[in-house]
Amino acid sequence: MDTDDLIARLSASPAVMQINLARMATMMAAAVVIPLVIFLAVCGLRPDLALAWTNPAVPFKTFLPLVVCIVSVALVLRLARPEAASGWLPWLYAVPGGVALTLWIGSFVLRAPEARFAEVSPVALAECLGIIPLLSIIPTVVALRILRQGASTSPSLSAFLAGLSAASGAATGYSLFCTRDNPLFFVTWYSVAIGIVTLIALRFGRRSLSW
């Protein structure tokens, strides 16, 4: 087709609504929160939640994924505009990353060798690696759909971040149910669960965010 014809055709299009990042953020958050509320309503919070939080290591189980989730949502929405660069935002991952690493190493050193991985059992792993990805399915799909409204010039990175924000959001909610408070357990296996979801989102989401 002649370029002038193309322009004539395109210019006959109606007005468009400007992209609304706040609305996209709200919808992504809702897609994380609603499945979590249903899950926690059915399965319940852990019974000893208040008591458990008196152990200073336990709140990290909730706050570390929460921070990762918030940073990822902010970053992926920033990248939804084509001219945007990630800027300084990725550096924020150093905070939860550094805390998690410190927690892991500290627990490893402080615990007796036989207590280090005592909580690792097939049931515990199946629960953790089952529920977090399961709770991530809806938010990942919704996030990828919402992000299609944007125009990321790095679709792979955006798909990766969509999975990361969904899975870390799911882990945040799951942490209120999970009773395994050893940082060696939750740092390791939450990360593995989040990583699995993120890689799947990268693998299958990349194409949906190309345009």
- Catalog residues that contact another protein under the rule CB under 8 A: 1, 3, 6-8, 10-19, 80-83, 149-151, 153, 210-211
CB of 89 to another protein, least distance (A): 17
Both tokens assigned to 51: 């008591």
CB of 155 to another protein, least distance (A): 9
End-to-end CA distance of the chain: 20
CB of 164 to another protein, least distance (A): 22
Please identify, using beta-carbon distances, which residue of 17 and 50 lies nearer to another protein.
17
What is the signed CA dihedral for 156, 158, 161, 165, rounded to 10 degrees? Answer: -140
CB of 34 to another protein, least distance (A): 26
Please identify, using beta-carbon distances, which residue of 11 and 54 lies nearer to another protein.
11
Distance between CA atoms of 42 and 201, rounded to whole angstroms? Answer: 27
Please identify, using beta-carbon distances, which residue of 12 and 41 lies nearer to another protein.
12
Please identify, using beta-carbon distances, which residue of 83 and 114 lies nearer to another protein.
83
